[in-house]
Amino acid sequence: MTDLYQSQRAMRNKRQAAMQRGVIAVLDVGSSKIACLVLRFDGPENFRDSDGIGSMAGQSSFRVIGAATTRSRGVRFGEIDAMHETERAIRTAVQAAQKMAGVRVDHVIACFAGAKPRSYGLAGSVDLHDGAVTDNCVARVLSSCDVPDYGENREILHAQPVNFAVDHRSGLGDPRGQAGNALSVDMHMLSVDRAPIENLLYCIKRCDLELAGIASSSYAAGISSLVEDEQELGAACIDLGGGSTGISIFIKKHMIYADTVRMGGDHVTSDISQGLQVPMPTAERIKTFYGGVQATGMDDRDMIDLSSDTGDWEHDRRTVSRAEVIGVMRPRMEEILEEVRVRLDAAGFEHLPSQRIVLTGGASQLPGLDGLATRILGQQVRLGRPLRVQGLPQSVTGPSFASAVGTCLFAAHPQDEWWDFDIPVEGYPARSLKRAVKWFKDNW
Amino acid sequence: MRPLNPFNKPQPSNDPAPSRWSYRMERLWLTPAFRKCVRVFLPAMLVVAGIGLYFSDADRQKVISEKYAEIRRSVEERPEFMVKIMAIDGASSGLNNAIREVMPVDLPLSSFDLDLEAMRKQVESLDAVKRVDVRVRAGGLLQINVEERVPAVVWRGPDGLELLDVGGHRVSAVQSRAARPDLPLIAGEGANTAVPEALALLERTSPIRDRVLGVVRISERRWDVVLNRDQRIMLPPLQPDLALDRVLALNEAQDLLKRDVTHIDIRNPDRPTLRMTSDALTSMREMQGIKVNSN
């Protein structure tokens, strides 16, 4: 627990160093593409003398000065599968983005989708000695949370205080200075498998970059594609990616639940490939050009050539109707959405005051998906696109870049996490003092 | 499964990934310090090194410096820059000749080759010259404006007779006292360093002008005024003018200098002393004897 705390703190320090230098890269390692955005932190917000909400809701403190996307290789289900392939892909993206930006990037904030995230709600409470809440009290209450046994070989990716309560007044965003007898906190903790994180770290290190932060891509997609009132009132963001589908639930501007379904757009492609007996690139092309989930009578007459060059005349001259393609795709999309529904139900999404669902990610561009999702997930479904940030090229404003843009926002304004607070003095393990004494003895 | 053997790697036809080294080179190139180094310092170093190599050859250096000197010469020797005539204003004819003799240049000469400051120093080194301006005027004229020293006294010094100006600076030598009877005479070692004092003393002797032969510096500290008839007024080193005034007043009242004294010694102002001729002394003794006897 302390190691994790230290490493996350180290990453925060690196992020601070990168902000001082003014350039930081954001890397979205996805199953279908790897996107790299280079941010420059010299916007007007950095030099504001007055307080308050600035232009573009405070998001104009950075500019995107480089953006590059490359086809992802070696990534499956949002996890790195073939390290060297992925490393090469990351290198490609980073180099192209650097070239566009014209500056060298040393620090990178990465987000990735897979690694089986699991959410935990933690609660902690401490007595207030001096009657008022101080910074130290916040740190104490955060470290007083009883951490569940989240399993061997898992790491904590996010640990965000969601809600503070002083005595019986709950729903406090910032309890400091409040008077009371007891302070309690609700914390959301997201744990992921350790191996994918280590793989990602290895790849990034091989690219001569330093990791200045790491985020779950479902969280990043949520903060970029949910608008402010949705985040406030309660909403779920469904990030339909290539290899996995991320789910994140927000309320009161905090993520309270995140999960992934290990199915995505690539599975639709492979269904088409298997069902129509065509190679994967052709299937991908058919999916993007003719795909859909809602067949109409017109689609029966819309014939698609499945041209290939095997030499077999019959095989090379096949055609399918668009309705058949839709017939292949729809069950898979339904399956994904059903699975999302299950996860949302498990999370207790129906108890939220507002049950807005936002579909984003590359696969959300499928025509008619909102209709299908309405049927499965409920009435309040909309398609989301990421927030516009300054300097973002037109080509990366689509929904498939929701998590990349979200990581930009995460880089610029990271939410308070557990490791942003100092460990309270009594929380230090006693042996650290012993270690210090031993170190003195050994060296002098 | 993809082949894992590194020597049996299938060459992907359209792999856009840069190799690790090209990626590193690209990043190095994007480093501002390195970039500046390569784009500014390296070319500058190359240029400097190239120039240095080119000029390090002695023959080439000689050729270039000769060429340079030739071009310079050709510009300097244009008729516009030539100085043809020297004009000397404010000098008497003897000094004029002396200046022309001492001037180290042969006209015509390019004005670039004239070292006016050196010429000025050279002319000023002449004793008779008090101040000099040397300048090149339009039309190739070297104008020398001279202010001569005016001799104020004749000094009989260790090297013979010399003319000194009011400041005591040597003007010229003179053959005999008779050559400049209009100037007062001073004598004695170190008299030249106190010419203003001597002149002030001589100024005060105007009532006995026809009797004064000159003043003599004694021991480089005080003056004697020498009169004809072998008379001498010995003045103190401090405030000699007041002492002289006292003597002159005494003279006016009692015709002291017409009497038979050889030295009027006022070196100690509290106790002026007279030295008389032996005749005067004898007759004075007689008079004293008569007086003594009469008492």
Q: What is the pLDDT of residues B97-133, one digit of tens each?
A: 888 888 777 777 787 777 888 888 888 888 878 888 8
Which pLDDT value is given to residue B295?
Answer: 44
Is pLDDT at A42 greater than 90 in this prediction? no
Which pLDDT value is given to residue A1?
Answer: 47
- Determine whether the interchain pair A208/B26 forms a contact, defined as Cβ–Cβ distance below 8 Å: no
The residue ranges of DSSP E strands in chain B, in sequence order, are: 82-83, 85-89, 109-110, 129-137, 141-148, 153-157, 160-164, 170-173, 185-187, 212-218, 222-227, 231-234, 261-265, 273-276
Q: Which of A158-167, A362-371, B172-181, B237-246 has the lowest mean pLDDT?
A: B172-181
CB B196 within 8 A of CB B223: no
- Determine whether the interchain pair A82/B17 forms a contact, defined as Cβ–Cβ distance below 8 Å: no
For residues B201 and B244, give the distance between their C-alpha atoms in angstroms, rounded to a whole number: 8
Contact list in B for residue A98 (CB cut-off 8 A) is: 26-27, 30
Q: Is A7 touching B (CB cutoff 8 A)?
A: no
Q: Which residues pair with B214 in a beta bridge?
A: B226
Q: Is B217 exposed, middle or buried (0-12, 13-18, 19+ CB in 10 A)?
A: buried
Q: Indicate the pairing of strand A303-305 with strand A79-80.
A: unpaired
For residues B203 and B197, give the distance between their C-alpha atoms in angstroms, rounded to a whole number: 10
For residues A158 and A144, give the distance between their C-alpha atoms in angstroms, rounded to a whole number: 17
| A352: three-class secondary structure by DSSP | coil
Q: Is B57 touching A (CB cutoff 8 A)?
A: no
Q: What single letter denotes the amino acid at residue B186?
A: I
Q: What percent of chain A has pLDDT over 70?
A: 93
For residues A113 and A263, give the distance between their C-alpha atoms in angstroms, rounded to a whole number: 11
H/E run at residue B8: none
- Determine whether the interchain pair A207/B17 forms a contact, defined as Cβ–Cβ distance below 8 Å: no
Mean of pLDDT over chain A? 86
Please state the φ and ψ torsions of residue B196, each to the nearest 5 degrees: -60, -40
Task: Nearest by CB to B26, from A70, A88, A95: name it.
Answer: A95
- Sequence-separated contacts (24+) of B132-141 with Cβ below 8 Å: B136/B83, B136/B111, B140/B82, B140/B83, B140/B84, B140/B85, B140/B108, B141/B83, B141/B84, B141/B85, B141/B86, B141/B87
Cα–Cα distances in Å, from B212 out to A325, B233, B241, B247, B248? 145, 10, 15, 14, 12
Q: Provide the shortest C-alpha distance from residue B36 to chain A (in Å).
A: 13
Q: Is A88 touching B (CB cutoff 8 A)?
A: yes
For residues A262 and A240, give the distance between their C-alpha atoms in angstroms, rounded to a whole number: 10
Mean pLDDT of A230-256: 91
If we measure between CA atoms, which residue out of B276, B285, B283 comes closest to residue B229?
B276
The correct answer on CATH 3.40.50.11690 for the domain covering B153-287 is yes
pLDDT digits (tens, 9 = 90+) for A197-210: 888 989 999 888 98
Q: Provide the whole-model pTM.
A: 0.66
If we measure between CA atoms, which residue out of A158, A164, A154, A203 comes closest to residue A184?
A164
For residues B238 and B245, give the distance between their C-alpha atoms in angstroms, rounded to a whole number: 13
Which pLDDT value is given to residue B172?
Answer: 83
Which pLDDT value is given to residue A342?
Answer: 94
Contact list in B for residue A206 (CB cut-off 8 A) is: 20
If we measure between CA atoms, which residue out of A332, A314, A336, A337 comes closest to residue A273?
A332
Which pLDDT value is given to residue B176?
Answer: 85
CB B174 within 8 A of CB B163: yes
Is pLDDT at A424 greater than 70 in this prediction? no
Q: Is A207 touching B (CB cutoff 8 A)?
A: yes
- Residues found in chain A: 444
Q: What is the dihedral of CA A98, A104, A108, A111, to 10 degrees?
A: 0
| Helix%, strand%, coil% for chain B, nearest 5 | 45, 25, 30
Q: Is A99 touching B (CB cutoff 8 A)?
A: yes
For residues A77 and A99, give the distance between their C-alpha atoms in angstroms, rounded to a whole number: 29
pLDDT digits (tens, 9 = 90+) for A365-403: 999 898 999 999 888 899 998 888 888 888 888 999 999
Which pLDDT value is given to residue B290?
Answer: 64
- pLDDT band at residue A151 under the 50/70/90 scheme: confident
Q: What single letter denotes the amino acid at residue B88?
A: I
Write out residues 21-40 of B within 8 Å (CB-CB) of A: 23-24, 26-27, 30-32
Query: What is the interface pTM, i.e. ipTM, of the complex?
Result: 0.73
- Determine whether the interchain pair B18/A92 forms a contact, defined as Cβ–Cβ distance below 8 Å: yes
Which pLDDT value is given to residue A274?
Answer: 93
- Determine whether the interchain pair A103/B2 forms a contact, defined as Cβ–Cβ distance below 8 Å: no
For residues B214 and A369, give the distance between their C-alpha atoms in angstroms, rounded to a whole number: 134
- Common-topology check for domains B79-148 and B153-287: no
- Determine whether the interchain pair B26/A98 forms a contact, defined as Cβ–Cβ distance below 8 Å: yes
For residues A83 and A87, give the distance between their C-alpha atoms in angstroms, rounded to a whole number: 6
Q: Is A384 exposed, middle or buried (0-12, 13-18, 19+ CB in 10 A)?
A: buried
Q: Is A98 touching B (CB cutoff 8 A)?
A: yes
Q: Is B288 touching A (CB cutoff 8 A)?
A: no
CA B210 to chain CA centroid, nearest Å: 38
Whether the CA torsion A11, A12, A13, A16 is positive or negative: it is positive
What DSSP assignment string belongs to B129-160? EEEEEEEEETTTEEEEEEEEPPP-EEEEETTE
Is pLDDT at A333 greater than 90 in this prediction? yes
Mean pLDDT of A53-67: 69
If we measure between CA atoms, which residue out of B288, B29, B205 comes closest to residue A98?
B29
- Determine whether the interchain pair B17/A88 forms a contact, defined as Cβ–Cβ distance below 8 Å: yes
CB B174 within 8 A of CB B157: no
- Determine whether the interchain pair B18/A95 forms a contact, defined as Cβ–Cβ distance below 8 Å: yes
Contact list in B for residue A103 (CB cut-off 8 A) is: 30, 32
Which pLDDT value is given to residue B51?
Answer: 93
Domain boundaries along the sequence of chain B:
79-148, 153-287
Q: What is the dihedral of CA A352, A356, A362, A366, to 10 degrees?
A: 130
Contacts of B231 (CB under 8 A, 6+ apart): B211, B257, B261, B262, B263, B264
Task: Nearest by CB to A104, from B16, B17, B30: name it.
Answer: B30
Higher pLDDT, B12 or A263: A263
Which pLDDT value is given to residue A51?
Answer: 57
Q: Which of A112-121, A426-435, B41-50, B249-258 has the lowest mean pLDDT?
A: A426-435
Q: Provide the shortest C-alpha distance from residue A366 to chain B (in Å).
A: 28
CATH class of B79-148: alpha beta
Q: What percent of chain B has pLDDT over 90?
A: 9
Please state the φ and ψ torsions of residue A181, each to the nearest 5 degrees: -105, -30
CB B171 within 8 A of CB B149: yes
CB B144 within 8 A of CB B129: no
pLDDT digits (tens, 9 = 90+) for A63-105: 888 999 998 888 888 888 888 889 989 999 999 999 998 888 9
Q: Residue A297 corresponds to which tokens in the numbers above?
A: 């009578």
